Amino acid sequence: NAGVTQTPKFRILKIGQSMTLQCTQDMNHNYMYWYRQDPGMGLKLIYYSVGAGITDKGEVPNGYNVSRSTTEDFPLRLELAAPSQTSVYFCASTPIISGANVLTFGAGSRLTVL
Amino acid sequence: QKEVEQNSGPLSVPEGAIASLNCTYSDRVSQSFFWYRQYSGKSPELIMSIYSNGDKEDGRFTAQLNKASQYVSLLIRDSQPSDSATYLCAFLGSSASKIIFGSGTRLSIRP
* pLDDT bracket for residue A99 (50, 70, 90): low
Q: Is the pLDDT of residue B68 over 70?
A: yes
Residue A63: Cβ within 10 Å count: 14
Q: Is the pLDDT of residue B62 over 70?
A: yes
**pLDDT of A102:** 82
For residue B100, the chain A residues in CB contact (below 8 A) are 45, 59
Of B45, B88, B97, the CB nearest to A48: B97
**pLDDT of B1:** 60
Mean pLDDT, residues A82-100: 88
Which of A90-104, B39-53, B91-105 has the largest mean confidence?
B39-53
Q: What is the mean pLDDT of chain B?
A: 91
Cross-chain Cβ contact B99/A105 below 8 Å: no
Distance, in Å, from the CA atom of B21 to the CA atom of A16, rounded to the nearest integer, reads 41
Distance, in Å, from the CA atom of B48 to the CA atom of B8, rounded to the nearest integer, reads 20
**pLDDT of B4:** 86
Cross-chain Cβ contact A103/B51 below 8 Å: no
**pLDDT of A48:** 96
Residue A37: Cβ within 10 Å count: 22
Q: Which residue of B has its CA nearest to A102?
A: B46
Cross-chain Cβ contact B97/A35 below 8 Å: no
Cross-chain Cβ contact A42/B103 below 8 Å: yes
* pLDDT bracket for residue A45 (50, 70, 90): very high
Half-sphere exposure of A53 (CA within 13 A, CB side): 0
Distance, in Å, from the CA atom of B62 to the CA atom of B4, rounded to the nearest integer, reads 20
Q: Which residue of A has its CA nearest to B6?
A: A42
Distance, in Å, from the CA atom of B46 to the CA atom of B61, rounded to the nearest integer, reads 12
* pLDDT bracket for residue B98 (50, 70, 90): confident
Q: Are B27 and B90 within 8 A, CB to CB?
A: no
Q: Most B CBs within 10 Å: which of A37, A44, A89, as the mutation test of the B interface? A: A37
pLDDT digits (tens, 9 = 90+) for B76-87: 999 999 999 999
Mean pLDDT, residues A17-41: 95
Q: How many helices (H) and strands (E) does chain A have?
A: 0, 11
For residue A30, the chain B residues in CB contact (below 8 A) are none
Share of chain A above pLDDT 70, in %: 95
For residue A102, the chain B residues in CB contact (below 8 A) are 46, 49
Distance, in Å, from the CA atom of A32 to the CA atom of A25, rounded to the nearest integer, reads 9
**pLDDT of A98:** 66
